[in-house]
Amino acid sequence: MAGPEKEVPRKSIAERKLLVDIRKKAEGSRKSGKPFWHWRWTDSKLEPGDDPLERQKDTFLASFLSVLPEPYEDAKSLRAYLEDAFAHKKGGVVAVEYGGPGSQLSGSFTPGFLKKSLGVALTDFREDDEKAEDGTRNHAVLAENVLYQRAFRAVDEWLAGDRCDIVFERMLGGLRYMPGDPDALMQPLQEAYRRLSDDGIMFVQTPVVLNDVLVAWAEKIDLEFGGVLEIQYSLGTHDNEPHQTSSFRIRKLPGAPEGLPILSREELRRADGQQ
């Protein structure tokens, strides 16, 4: 089996400048605490509860239903999938959401299932009472920009030697602050993957514009790392509509690589249709 590919495409000066601009835009939002649009307040639940007024459309389930293994897709339950997957670690499970406060997300699990949880977002807009409530569940929020290494140093400090079992990224409209360039986008994903536990699971939304790259990358993982990484992906049509997003689920199996395999320059060029 091939080892993780290290080669990344070389960027033109214009591409690098664009990336710097995108990073700065996100950083400006983090510093001012003034993000764009209504999503400032978005803090979604994992899936609808018993309240008939709660809509699946507003939850993480809407974006990740189609990347759940069959019995759980049929049962429409992300929570059942994750609680079953980590039943052996009940009470010691660590969950992180990148690109969101994660308060409602972590509060959606059965009480006592998580050991601690974290949200990493550009702004921490919680009121004092919400912070206090999160505190009772060992949930914290870091106001950090995942396009900077500093964010991951802060995550390491919070982890205090632990690793993440459950990782989510579903930025929806927040994707406007992320680079549309595959290898730049891969950097935060690689950082998140590196902090996963041995049997960790990541649910990730990817921009629709990179659908071809997602397919090529998922096929590569399947082909070259099929026995050690489980991957399932779904192609969407709209980044901002929770039930129409592109996404994947990746799960580490015994023998999984320490680093997230990426596409070589050549594979990327082919996927991008540049050849």
The residues binding ligand SAM (CB under 6 A) are 26, 35, 39, 42-44, 99-100, 120-123, 145-147, 170-174, 177
**What's the min distance (Å) between Cβ of 104 and ligand SAM?**
7
**Closer by beta carbon to ligand SAM, 104 or else 232:** 104
**What's the min distance (Å) between Cβ of 50 and ligand SAM?**
20
**What's the min distance (Å) between Cβ of 91 and ligand SAM?**
25
> Looking at the DSSP assignment, which residues form a beta bridge with residue 205?
247
50, 156, 159, 171: which is closest to 115 by C-alpha? 159
**Closer by beta carbon to ligand SAM, 172 or else 186:** 172
Give Cα 102 to chain centroid, integer Å. Answer: 11
**Closer by beta carbon to ligand SAM, 145 or else 232:** 145
**What's the min distance (Å) between Cβ of 215 and ligand SAM?**
24
**Closer by beta carbon to ligand SAM, 99 or else 200:** 99
**What's the min distance (Å) between Cβ of 65 and ligand SAM?**
14
**Closer by beta carbon to ligand SAM, 177 or else 233:** 177
